[in-house]
Each structure stands twice: as C-alpha cells, then as structure tokens.
Amino acid sequence: MYRVILVDDERLIIRGLSTVVPWAELGCEVAGTAHDGSDGLALIRKVRPDVVLTDIRMPNMDGLTMLAAIRSEFPEIQMSVLTAYRDFEYARKAITLGVCRYLLKPSDLEELKDAVRQMVSRLDAMPRLREEDPEDESVREAGNHLVKAALTYMKEHCTEQHLSLSEVADHVYVSQWHLSKLLNRETDQSFFDLLGSMRIARAKELLKDPAKRIHEIADETGFSDVAHFSRSFKKFTGSTPGEYRNQKA
C-alpha cells in the first residue's frame, strides 16, 4: 500500500477525499491529513508518504514554492494538485515543478481516481526510473525555483542583524541542510558568504554619502559592531570602509 497525505484548508474537501476515493482499490491508504501548508509539510517530513494530494491556494502560503520544496527535498514523492485556482501559467509552472496532475475543483471521482492511478504507475516504475535518471529536470527546476526565492528573501532582509539560514529555509519550506546544499550547488557560495556580499553591496552604496558615519553604516547593514563590519568589508573588497570611501571620493 502506498501512503497518501491529503492537504486542504477546506475540511469538507479532506473528509470527502478520505471517504469517497476507493484508496485500497487503488493500492493506497490515507496516512494523514492537514489543513494548511505548514502543517502539511511537517506531516510530509514525519510520514515520508509516497503520494501527496494538495491544494495550493491556502492562507499564508506560496503554493508554487511549497511544491518546489516537496519536489526538491523528496523527489520520489508523487504530487497532484486539487484547486479552484484556474490560471494556465500557474498550472504550467506547477507541472514543471514535478506535479503529476493539476485538477480543478469540483473534480469528479473518475478524474481523481485516474490521477491516483497515474501517480501509482510512476511509483511502480520508480526503481527503473531511478537507474535511468536519478535527478530529472523537474527536480533541477524545483531547486532553481527555491534558490531564486531564497535569494530574493535574503536581499529584502539582508540588513536585519539576526537574519539566519533557519529563517530563510522556513520561508521556502525546506530544511536548513537542504537549502544550504542548494545554495552551494547553484551559486558556489555558502549562505553566510552570500549574505555578507549582499550586506557589503548595500554598505558600498551608503558609503557614497559623506554624511554617513562608519558606525551608522555598520548598524544599517546588519553588522553587530564596527569591528565586525570592517573585517567583513575588507574580506570582500580588500580595503577597509574608510579606505574604500577615500578611494571613491
């Protein structure tokens, strides 16, 4: 029996999917349900299901990034979407991120059963597929999507002193370890080097204003103190903030 997780913020939908779909007949069993994306991801990490059937338009969630997170971190999980969101480009992107079927609510029973059969068929073929292509295009696309989302978030928040790998990983729905791996693979840099370079880029802009004091710039770019700022600035540019300002004057 393949294990299934159902995720939808409409409890009536969850109840209907759990009872109406003949899971045993399709070689599956419902291993758990969740009513929002964060709980769904926590459940997926705990249960490690074979199949996920999820909505993607739930409160406080970026649905595409959630799909990318599941595909990138758990590439063998088969995913289908059941949603009322009728947008072709959104659906196309979901498919590139590894979604097996994109179903629109209300969906009839036969359509649901056909989607489950397709996911089961993929799972049955998994040992062979693993030998042929251990990391297919959708997994690479998912990783790329996550890195872009992470870098965007980092740029928006890089001047916050306590920005952490954990916070960014939570924003893109993956573990710290997995995000660190993706950042290294896609950028050849660590999280801390990327964060440092973003802060220094901002500091360079602020140093153009002669009225700005060095300690003010250190504070405004997320550094804990002037000494830390100076060390980091020299690491990235080869000169201290004061030297850099004089060179550009």
Using the 3D structure, point to which of 85, 104, 133 is the last residue of a domain: 133
Encoded tokens for 243:
């030297």
- From 101, 133, 165, give the residue that closes a domain: 133
Angstrom distance (rounded) from CA 90 to CA 165: 28
Of 112, 87, 89, nearest to 8 by C-alpha is: 112
Q: Show which of 133, 160, 183 is a domain's final residue.
A: 133
- Give the pLDDT confidence of 154-195 residue by residue, as tens digits: 999 999 999 999 999 999 999 999 999 999 999 999 999 999
Signed CA dihedral, 13, 14, 18, 21: sign only: positive
Query: Total structural domains in the chain?
Result: 2
The residue count of the chain comes to: 249
**Residue 216: which CATH number?**
1.10.10.60
Q: Are residues 109 and 14 in the same domain?
A: yes
The mean pLDDT of 226-241, rounded to a whole number, is 93
In a domain, 53, yes or no: yes
Task: Classify residue 6: in a domain, yes or no.
Answer: yes
Residue 185 forms part of a structural domain:
no
* Residue 59 CB coordination number (10 Å): 7
32 and 127 inside one domain: yes
How sure is the predictor about 106, in pLDDT bands with cuts at 50, 70 and 90? Answer: confident
Count of Cβ atoms closer than 10 Å to residue 38 Cβ: 14
Same domain, residue pair 46 and 127? yes
For residue 132, is pLDDT > 60?
no
How buried is residue 39: exposed, middle or buried, by Cβ count under 10 Å (0-12/13-18/19+)? middle
Residue 38 lies in a domain: yes
Residue 92's contacts (CB-CB under 8 Å, 6 or more residues apart) are: none
Yes or no: say if 62 and 149 are a contact pair by the CB < 8 Å rule: yes
Task: Please report which confidence band the pLDDT of residue 46 belongs to, taking 50, 70 and 90 as the band edges.
Answer: very high
Query: Does 107 score more than 90 pLDDT?
Result: no
- Per the structure, the complete domain to which residue 198 belongs is given by 194-248
- When pLDDT is cut at 50, 70 and 90, the band that residue 62 belongs to is confident
